[in-house]
Amino acid sequence: MNNLHSEELRLLEIIEMAYAAPDDEEMARTVFMALRDLLPFPSGILMPVAADTLQLQPGLCFDCDPADMCTYLTHYAPQDPFVLRQPSPVLRNQSVRFSDVVSASELGRSEFTEFMQRVPYYHALGILTAVAGQPVAVFSVHRQRHERDFNAEEQAIVDRIGPHLARAIVLRRLANDPEQRLETGIVVFGRERNALYLNTTARRFLGTTPPDAVLRALPPQGTGIVSTASRNYRVHRVPWAAASLLHRFAVEEAAADSLDRGQAGDAVEFWSAATRGGFGGERAIILALQPFRQRVDLVQRLARHGLSPRQSAVAGGVLRGLDNGEISRQLYIAEQTVKDHLHEIYHRLGVHTRTELLIKVLGPTSSVPTGRGKRRT
């Protein structure tokens, strides 16, 4: 029991580290080092996911060669069984072992085995982290061939940490980007479910809509939608461990000309108290509001059909009206690879043309670009 308690405390400390880090690189390095206290591994990587294309981007290599990451992204990512076969983003925020995606015999017959022979590891445990359904980054830890594979208990640890890494990344982006910060409303409710705090953006979003409408819109799990007279907003929880980052929100707001001095001082004082453990933090609820965007909705619609990240990127290109050549150039893959993905996408969704794909994903009332009805693969 004591071991379980100490492990849980260490896990909470690691989550706190993710939010307290000054930048994503330091966060990854700190979390990787601390995570070794809970599960042994010699190396790991954190790779951001581009919001518009769902493509993996260069990130941090922890005790492994950055040149291998560059080689992977340039040549081998399209052949990675993780990318090709696992049904993420359905499995976003759920870790997957490499051995559960492809068997040793299948790997030996694939071109990806060339990459596996280049790198000093064999087992991998990865998670596609996401916030409000939007993929944010891939976090993965590795072991060498002579070491044992990762087990269910270790998967559970990564499952706990992964979503917090994504939230920390997103919150840091918001804190450092004034334009994005103006598009994020923050509402805090106390233990009696009374509104303790609304930032300037939340007040602007809600207008005359009472704050408790935001709380009512939140389902027991996942995200919700709150509707005002003018717009719909996506609502999701923010953990209290992120209070230090939200304090930075308030400091930045206080420096903005658009905020009157008294209100700014109240915001900074509120989050300063929160970071010191005020307001019964573990019982309070922090909610974030962001304008509902069709692109995020599109990612979730594609996810429901069990497409891999690569297939989702190809399907997203089709839905934006791109032809095969444009998709291949945008995703840095061969045009024949685009055609192969489209064959699999059509098969999974039970469609035969691009028009049918549009209707299947977006619904029959959506506008369909002309000239796309002919099957092209």
Domains, the chain, ranges and CATH? Answer: 2-176 (3.30.450.40), 180-292 (3.30.450), 305-362 (1.10.10.10)
Is 141 in contact with 41 (CB distance < 8 Å)?
A: yes
Q: Give me the amino acid identity at 177.
A: D
Q: Give me the amino acid identity at 277.
A: G
Tell me how far apart the terminal alpha carbons of the chain are, to the nearest angstrom: 58
For 5, 12, 240, 283, the CA distances from 9, given in Å and listed in that order, are 6, 5, 15, 18
Check residue 90 and give its pLDDT: 47
Q: How many CA atoms lie within 13 A of 30 on its CB side?
A: 18
The whole-angstrom separation of Cα 275 and Cα 216 is: 26
Contacts of residue 94, defined as CB under 8 A and 6 or more positions apart, other chains included, come to: 127, 159
pLDDT beneath 50, residues of the chain: 1, 86-90, 257-262, 264-265, 280-281, 363-377
The whole-angstrom separation of Cα 93 and Cα 105 is: 28
Check residue 162 and give its pLDDT: 93
Check residue 4 and give its pLDDT: 60
Check residue 197 and give its pLDDT: 82
SS3 225: strand
Residue in 28, 34, 57, 32 with CA at minimum distance from that of residue 43:
32
Q: What is the pLDDT of residues 49-76, one digit of tens each?
A: 887 667 788 999 999 989 988 888 888 8
Check residue 294 and give its pLDDT: 53
For 25, 245, 289, 296, the CA distances from 302, given in Å and listed in that order, are 30, 32, 23, 10
pTM of the model: 0.64
DSSP string, 37-66: TTS--SEEEEEEB-TTT--B---EEESS-H
Check residue 366 and give its pLDDT: 30
**Pure H helices in the chain:** 2-20, 24-35, 66-71, 81-85, 98-101, 104-109, 113-118, 152-176, 178-181, 200-206, 212-217, 243-255, 261-275, 294-304, 309-319, 324-331, 335-349, 354-362
**Pure H helices in 227-323:** 243-255, 261-275, 294-304, 309-319
Cα angle for residues 295, 298, 304 (degrees, 5° grid): 150
Token pair, residue 11, equals 């896990």
